[in-house]
């Protein structure tokens, strides 16, 4: 193959360049707000090439004043089977059948898409495998 052709292809399709190389770009503490309240906090670590982390979900409810408030103790869950593939981080978490109920249902599956150095989108894989205008934007805490 002509080396000049390879260079031309790389220049012609810059959108195919992957932002992430391994787990390192995902490492840090990420947060998202919804209704001007905390919604999700995700802490990701890498040790010896293995990725791990914890995700915290904040339960929100509209109060008598008509405003949204975080209610009760946040739900903190370890990431199960986290996996990085290019700009995507997928993982599962334990899922309770009802808020505050100890009975577990099937695990919830999530997919994070890194879209910039300090920005990624949070998606619930079930029922929404593609982008959705309601996806939460997470930003890395400085």
Coil, strand or helix: which one is 71? coil
Residue ranges of alpha helices (H) inside the chain are 3-12
Q: Which two tokens stand for residue 44?
A: 């990701």
Rounded to whole angstroms, the Cα distance separating 137 from 120 reads 6
pLDDT digits (tens, 9 = 90+) for 15-71: 334 444 567 889 999 999 999 999 999 999 998 888 999 999 998 999 999 999 998
Q: Is the pLDDT of residue 4 over 70?
A: no
Give the predicted TM-score (pTM) of the model: 0.75
- CB-based contact 18:87 (threshold 8 Å): yes
Q: Is the pLDDT of residue 8 over 50?
A: no
pLDDT digits (tens, 9 = 90+) for 71-106: 888 889 999 999 998 889 999 998 777 766 778 888
Pick the CATH number of 19-140 from 1.20.1640.10, 3.30.413.10, 3.30.420.590, 2.40.128.210: 2.40.128.210
pLDDT at 127: 55
| DSSP annotation of 67 | -
Domain ranges within the chain, ordered by starting residue: 19-140
């Amino acid at each position: 193959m002509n080396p000049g052709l390879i260079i031309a292809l790389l220049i012609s399709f810059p959108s195919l360049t992957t932002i992430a190389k391994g787990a390192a770009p995902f490492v840090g503490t990420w947060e998202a707000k919804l209704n001007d309240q905390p919604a999700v906090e995700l802490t990701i670590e890498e040790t010896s090439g293995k990725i791990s982390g914890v995700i915290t979900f904040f339960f929100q409810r509209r109060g008598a004043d008509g405003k949204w408030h975080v209610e009760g103790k946040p739900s903190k869950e370890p990431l199960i089977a986290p996996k990085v593939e290019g700009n995507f981080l997928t993982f599962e978490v334990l899922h309770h059948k009802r808020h505050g109920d100890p009975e577990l249902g099937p695990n919830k599956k999530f997919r994070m898409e890194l879209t910039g150095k300090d920005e990624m989108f949070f998606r619930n894989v079930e029922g929404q495998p593609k982008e959705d205008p309601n996806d939460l934007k997470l930003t890395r805490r400085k």
